[in-house]
Structure 1
């Protein structure tokens, strides 16, 4: 499912709840240093760095050095692949809801 030749599949990268939380934290800020991200978890800096590396391999996270500090920011464009995949099922959900509505209306009559 990885059309843009990233090293890691976007679906695989977001499969972990810790990585999804990192994405959410980065989406709420322009940029965060590693120590601020680490403070949001009950795990060490090394563990958070490993999760960030996986997100980076999937193209979801960009980083830059500022002195000795590494700052991270979200690159949401690879999430489009997930959005497009889910969109394929919109017809299923819409048809299901319309069918449920019709069934409920018939029961009322």
Structure 2
């Protein structure tokens, strides 16, 4: 599956995803040009690791309405973003390998 990862990766999520044979592209900033360059149109999963970029969820869903949106970060999402998010995981509760296996 193609996964677009947005944000930093302090927990080794990219490596864990690739170990599960997912194709991962990274966009440091979740704006329209960054997401398009990362291949959001072909992605099956949008994986956000920074709550500060929660507004990018709406942009990603606008570009690819069929995306599965997963947030892997501490904190809480604003209401507008939580309605478009399929799964929110706190890194303190599940490690990167467990998340990669479930995708």
Relative to the length of structure 2, the TM-score reads 0.28
Answer 1 or 2: which has greater strand percent: 2
Bigger helix share: 1
User: TM-score, normalization: structure 1?
Assistant: 0.27
The structure whose Rg is larger is 1
